[in-house]
Structure 1
């Protein structure tokens, strides 16, 4: 039987691999069974183990993809609803996993370290869930936008729905964007700047949108309040079902999810700066303004998020249609590996600062440099040149 919207003879080599992305939300369902059968309590931490150990190893073994859909296949790929269901099904698995984790957090059989491991696992699911929300939030269909807010409920990061689409995409790769990391800025300096700056930006953007419509902040049409209300309903319902003792664990997993998302933000645009037009305005975002990686395994788990250059140049494209570009600067590894590097600032700078310099042919005046670091970095790479 031919899938609706697919021409005869059409074949997507990664078509069925996308279903493997559902392993991510299922991670929180695995620990109890794995610990029961293996007696290895370290498996309560299976989420970080998969993301920070298994995926980098698989990225290294499997290597890069490099396969781009042709122009002739673009419409068929976009219309094929199979790909949408790969993101839709993420949500029920994510929420069921959270419910199972809440039940286990109330168990007296788990000690504090085991519960922390489970919280870390659920938090990694929450962070990847924000990526699923990211994919759904870019769509024009009202139902998919609603599902995006549902996916954000677990992390409590509902303002991301507003800030990412109307803030980050407008200001990406500029000093005005809180989510674009600057050359010389450590992950630990970036995290509070991005979290706080993104929150305030989202409020300003939504307040301005409501004002243009003649509505007040306290409106049922407020996208931020809608998303936060979903978090309140979700957390409140879980506490009614399992007791208030789960609240600290819900907060811990949400913070871990937020930290994972923002660390990925740090990786995606580090040091990159859009050129300015003669009138002082920034040029339209191009593939040169985002770091790319074609590591197949991480791309499957993150719905092609690593083809970030095409995503910013063409934000309306669905994940399965995103293309790699020779114009885009390439990371030396997949996001999972780069997260490990970012955690250790000297290691990150040793790997990435020369790549930023090479991207701009040694002229760091063209880069997005952290305030206070310009003189030192410019002098270093001028001397090297």
Structure 2
């Protein structure tokens, strides 16, 4: 069995959710572009159309630095009680219509009111980031076993036009995670931009392939009304088509930028979640089972609240149906900061590799052959790291 270095997690036990009423904050972020618009209209301050990007790229990383980490878990009996508390479930449900309200109101505002290109762009990127949060909500809902939540996942994934996510993520990524077969697992030496160009089309193709297989088993065509991916995309068509019909070409940059930047949000999350980590092959040729050491975690309080504990990613892979409020901190390797701060590092490949490559090597006690390597850089990486030179 492969040997790994993992974060030395000493389990801390808590008896109540000290963050219970902080879980409202993602709903506030979901409407933050509207808040920014209203403050801008009241004050004329040109920064406020950029409120949501400022929150994500500045204040959330700063909050992680100031407030630190929370790596405490509940006892099993208390965990079950909190998981069954409908308060947490309804917070996620309430967020779904908010994404529609934000998208429609922002589209109306930039098409009919926005007085400058910078205001247009700031609100558009703000909506792109709330689209990214919609994908986080779709991730949470799409893993549940009841039809109500699965339907809500289709509905919320229609806003960022990523209706294939649940099919691809649940049936593809969770099966192939941390292997070369997974387009959603980043490789050591692979830049974010190269990963995005591999991951987005790869995920789309895998999703439709898996949905086609599912429908064929039922004797249905991939173009059947039962195609869960097409159901979500039909809602997207109504939303985007209605906006174009109502406001005309002025809304097209808003649609393109908010959609593509929202996709980038998901791809960047995927990039940092499994970068360089690899499940080893066993004697029978199959990959070992997924364990905590195959995901990067971040127990930072602020960004975890904003992403519904997505950063406790290893426990999610172990127990995909477990609700966000009781996901556990475990022995998974730790990112240097929360997702928001890691996004900025990932945008700068030289910085990301300087911070993260040596962490990957440490996971495998310096044996680079155990890492998930970018095939085009494999020989160069082996030469570099077998010489003991990890600085770049």
Q: TM-score range by the shorter chain?
A: over 0.9
Give the superposition deviation at 1:107: 2.3
User: Are the counterparts in 1 of residues 368 and 382 from structure 2 also a CA contact under 8 Å?
Assistant: yes
Please state whether the residue corresponding to 2:375 is helix, strand or coil. Answer: coil
Aligned to 1:37: 42
Give the superposition deviation at 1:217: 1.1
Instruction: Give the alignment partner of residue 238 of structure 2, picking from 233, 242, 247.
Output: 233
Task: Determine the C-alpha separation between the residues in 1 that align with 2:35 and 2:191.
Answer: 34
Instruction: Give the alignment partner of residue 377 of structure 2, picking from 362, 373, 378.
Output: 373
Show CA shifts across 1:18-61 (max 9, x none).
11121221112112222123322122111111101010001000
TM-score (norm 1): 0.95
User: Are the counterparts in 1 of residues 15 and 75 from structure 2 also a CA contact under 8 Å?
Assistant: no
Aligned to 2:296: 291
Q: Is the alpha carbon distance of 1:179 and 1:109 closer, same or farther for their aligned partners in structure 2, counting shifts above 3 Å?
A: closer
Aligned to 1:246: 251
Give the superposition deviation at 1:92: 1.4
Task: Determine the C-alpha separation between the residues in 2 that align with 1:241 and 1:42.
Answer: 28
Instruction: Give the alignment partner of residue 186 of structure 1, picking from 168, 191, 194.
Output: 191
Task: Determine the C-alpha separation between the residues in 1 that align with 2:276 and 2:149.
Answer: 32
Aligned to 1:124: 129
User: Are the counterparts in 1 of residues 167 and 207 from structure 2 also a CA contact under 8 Å?
Assistant: yes
Task: Determine the C-alpha separation between the residues in 1 that align with 2:319 and 2:86.
Answer: 20
2:348 aligned with 1:344, yes or no?
A: yes
Task: Determine the C-alpha separation between the residues in 2 that align with 1:220 and 1:212.
Answer: 15
Task: Determine the C-alpha separation between the residues in 2 that align with 1:239 and 1:144.
Answer: 29
Number of corresponding residues? 376
Task: Determine the C-alpha separation between the residues in 1 that align with 2:15 and 2:66.
Answer: 28
Give the superposition deviation at 1:102: 1.4
Show CA shifts across 1:123-173 (max 9, x none).
100011100000000001101001111111111111112101101111000
Q: Is the alpha carbon distance of 1:109 and 1:297 closer, same or farther for their aligned partners in structure 2, counting shifts above 3 Å?
A: closer
Aligned to 1:331: 335
Give the superposition deviation at 1:269: 0.4
Give the superposition deviation at 1:244: 5.0
Aligned to 2:4: none
User: Are the counterparts in 1 of residues 295 and 332 from structure 2 also a CA contact under 8 Å?
Assistant: yes
Give the superposition deviation at 1:210: 0.6
Aligned to 1:255: 260
Task: Determine the C-alpha separation between the residues in 1 that align with 2:364 and 2:43.
Answer: 51
Task: Determine the C-alpha separation between the residues in 1 that align with 2:48 and 2:353.
Answer: 32
Task: Determine the C-alpha separation between the residues in 2 that align with 1:108 and 1:35.
Answer: 12
Show CA shifts across 1:307-363 (max 9, x none).
0011011112111110011x2110011110000000000010000000000011100
Any gaps of 5 or more consecutive residues in structure 1? 1-8
Give the superposition deviation at 1:229: 0.6
2:368 aligned with 1:356, yes or no?
A: no
Show CA shifts across 1:160-217 (max 9, x none).
1210110111100000000100000000110010001111111111111111111111
Give the superposition deviation at 1:297: 0.2
Aligned to 2:273: 268
2:19 aligned with 1:14, yes or no?
A: yes
Alignment RMSD (CA, Å): 1.5
